[in-house]
Structure 1
Amino acid sequence: MAWMIRGLLVSALFVVGCRHSAPAVTPEPSTPVALSCDERQSELSREADQRASPYGIEQHLAKNFPEGSVSWLMKDAQYQQYVVQTGATNFGRCDDSGCYLFAAPSSVIQDAVKKASSGGTHDPAVLGQALGLPAKNFEGPLRMMTLDLRASAPCVRLPVDSDPGAWKCQSEQDTDCFKFGGYTSGGLPEVMVINAPVSQAVVTEVP
């Protein structure tokens, strides 16, 4: 009987020991959280979150960017001029503090392009209507960029009025201007991506 009890105790200790020695598994977050913002961008992000409180960047990403990727469109001529010919390393409007890019959920952009495409070309009016922007923004051949936020880990925050390219709306009817809150004037979810790397973006032609 004594050896049976000792055997049971040894077995129990072995099982408990295995359970405690197993490494803790941390689930991958479903929402990409920007950890690469420098001090200046972190401060801007905190201020934007306070202004939008209780709805900050993390809630915005979780609600509108669940796939963890962003996309945006450029006219092919601009892509060639500002990205290819210059050998740019980051997308966006650049200054001494970084390169600033407005981007939307990949699923929204891709669905809009699919809806607007027919017969080997796209309809600028249909694309503009789907994205809540003027059709002239999408005339001619386009390039669609897609960036995985988890893999590239750029700085991501809510856009603010001082961002390059943030032109203030002059009226409620304006649809190509900046309104604070994480949505375009046309109602499209958006984020500000700082230093989106060209090398990690998937570029697709939109004829």
Structure 2
Amino acid sequence: MSDKDYLKDISEIKNLMNKSSRFISLSGLSGILAGIYALIGAAIAYWLVMTCSGGTLIIFHGWVFWTSMFVLFMIAFLSALTGIILTTRKAKKNGEKIWDNSSRRLLINFLVPLAAGGLYTLIILDQGRYGQTGALMLIFYGLALINASKYSIGDIKYLGFAEVILGLFAAYYPGYGFWLWVMGFGILHIVYGTWMHFKYDVK
């Protein structure tokens, strides 16, 4: 057997080991839809705030703010539900298990920083520091993506880095927090989802 054959066998073994340790059935289409949900939700929140604040983008500390938070919660719920449905469908199509060691590791590494960020954001809200909400969402979501990328398609870490950077800008320029949130959860998701769809889903 030639050296080329040995190298080919080693490469194939490495690819098999990589696939067995990573959950690679994430759907690019779910990213696109998550971005669309975010844009729709942001439009609803923008209309609500502008209508109730006399034409200035200032979120009241009362029902307007919490209604906007409910809209964001629904966006997250719909995005997660869509992701589960489309990812399950893709996994079945690829003959992969939707729930195994790799998907469990992916979920745990994604949810731990996300849950910590969510709880910290709730603490900040309880203290009345509303201006940092968008920044915290972007930063902790980005960290969750980076942390989970070790157990999935490595490309999601680039989306994570972009979200963290946008979150830091939102923290430094809180007046632009809403628009940076729209860019991070809306536009970036659509761009990333489209790229991933054509790179991994379309064959």
Same fold (TM over 0.5): no
Structure number with higher relative contact order (C-alpha < 8 Å, ≥ 6 residues apart):
2
More helix by share: 2
What TM-score bracket applies, with the shorter chain setting the length?
Answer: under 0.3
More strand by share: 1
Q: Which entry has the higher C-alpha Rg, 1 or 2?
A: 1
Q: Name the TM-score, length of structure 1 as normaliser.
A: 0.23
